Amino acid sequence: MGNAVLEVNELTTKYITRFGENIYAVDHVSLKVEEGKSLGIAGESGCGKSTLALSLMGYYFPPLYYTSGQIIIDGQNISGMDPDEVRKAILGKEIAYIPQSAMNALNPTQRIINFIEDVIEAHKPYATKKEIYDQAKSLFEVLGLPAEVLNKYPVELSGGMKQRTVIAISVILSPQILIADEPSSALDVTSQKMVIKMLRNLMDSGLIKSMIFITHELPLLYNVTDDIMVMYAGQIVEKAGAHEMVFTPIHPYSQGLMGSIMVPESGLRDKKLTAIPGVPPNLKNPPSGCRFAERCKYVMPECRVTSIPLRDAGGGRAYRCILPKEFLMEAYERERGER
């Protein structure tokens, strides 16, 4: 057991709409990322995974609000801290974020170096421009980015270059943990590979200690992360090691996700089309029972009665379903055999 870089206990956050309704997009989520490890979070769009990424930063702004739970980074509970304290001491320094579309993540009317100056000044008010420039330049060199980028405006950079620049800026203060929210989804395949490689490099070279990688593309997670969590309707429905999750998913929703994507041998493209029928529930009034019940092929009357807890499945695995794991795994095997 390494020591935990990030530990999250029962974190709940909500959106408040302009009509005053509460939407609990992250509902009692617990997770733990150890030093040197990476965690993948998967789910369809709208399942709350991006909100989880925002919530993990411990820095909330409307319409997202903190409700309850703990976020512990390196032994320090940041969920009770003063927001300005979080901004100064935690953001960028302890925990860094790479947004969903890095294409627009940089202020279009500012040179890259000026943005880096703003970032560093927010944490170290006494750094001189020269020091900042030197620091940025050496980091860019380490990461294989040309130093000229620093003096350019974002419009002058290609998509892949912009993405890698954002990653470089994110780690300039050597954070403990990096949260990457679909960093590659808008890029072409070559650029995607470069980004993934860059992220792996960051871990290997010790620039960051651990990473959370959020995506809707499961094959990507298998290659990048050690563990995988599947989210549905704001809750974790299953967690497991990457290998176990990909080859022996337990929860019907994970199975659906795998079944809809991960069948390389029979042609990925066709299978992508067999997505899980139906849409995630409206979180304004979440169902009282299992949230996946409407779309589940094994649904039973008792599924709809009370909420289902996350069950331990041994070997560090857990899943949220009332059916025994043996039944679910066998059913999945049988189905795969039929294909």
Partner 1 sequence: MKGYRNYFANKLIWFGITLVAAFVLNFFLPRLMPGNPVAAIVARLAQGMSNTAGVQAIYEQYAKLFGTDKTMLEQFFLYVRNVFRGDFGYSFSQYPRTVADVIRASIWWTIFLQFPAIIVGWVLGNTLGAMAAYRKGGFDKVLLPVSIFVSSLPAFGMAVILLVIFGVTLKWLPTSGGYGYDLIPNLSWSFIWSVIVHYQLPFWSIVLITIGGQAIGMRSMAIYELNADYVKYSRFMGIKDGKIVRYVFRNAMLPQVTGLALAVGTMVGGALVAEIIFSYPGLGSTILTAVLGQDYPLISATTLIVTIMVLIANFVIEIIYGFLDPRIKAAQAD
- Residue 77 in contact with residue 11, Cβ under 8 Å? no
Applying CB under 8 A, does 174 fall inside the site for partner 1? no
Stretch that binds partner 1, among 150-158, 244-252, 254-262, 307-315 (CB under 8 A): 150-158
- Residue 284 in contact with residue 23, Cβ under 8 Å? yes
Burial of 264 (0-12, 13-18, 19+ CB in 10 A): exposed
Q: Which of 133, 153, 222, 298 binds partner 1 (CB under 8 A)?
A: 153
Q: Which residues is 180 bridged to in the sheet?
A: 98, 213
Applying CB under 8 A, does 147 fall inside the site for partner 1? no
Stretch that binds partner 1, among 87-95, 250-258, 277-285, 320-328 (CB under 8 A): 87-95
Applying CB under 8 A, does 107 fall inside the site for partner 1? yes
Residue 27, H or E segment? strand 22-34
Q: Which of 24, 66, 97, 253 binds partner 1 (CB under 8 A)?
A: 97
Specify the residue for token string 């800026």.
169
- Residue 69 in contact with residue 79, Cβ under 8 Å? yes
Applying CB under 8 A, does 110 fall inside the site for partner 1? yes
Applying CB under 8 A, does 185 fall inside the site for partner 1? no
Q: What is the largest CA-CA distance in the chain?
A: 67
* Binding-residue total with partner 1 (CB under 8 A): 37
Copy the structure tokens of residue 328: 């679910």
State the alpha helices, DSSP H only, in the chain.
49-56, 83-89, 112-123, 129-142, 159-170, 189-204, 218-224, 242-247, 252-261, 268-272, 325-338
Stretch that binds partner 1, among 31-39, 54-62, 69-77, 232-240 (CB under 8 A): 54-62
Residue 109 CB, shortest distance to partner 1, in Å, is 6
What would the x/- binding string for partner 1 be over residues 55 to 74, using CB under 8 A? --x-x-x-------------
Q: Which of 99, 252, 259, 280 binds partner 1 (CB under 8 A)?
A: 99
Applying CB under 8 A, does 142 fall inside the site for partner 1? no
Applying CB under 8 A, does 213 fall inside the site for partner 1? no
CA-to-CA distance for 64 and 49, rounded, in angstroms? 14
Applying CB under 8 A, does 91 fall inside the site for partner 1? yes
Residue numbers at the binding site for partner 1 (CB under 8 A): 54, 57, 59, 61, 87-88, 90-93, 96-97, 99-111, 115, 118-119, 122-123, 152-153, 155-156, 166, 169-170
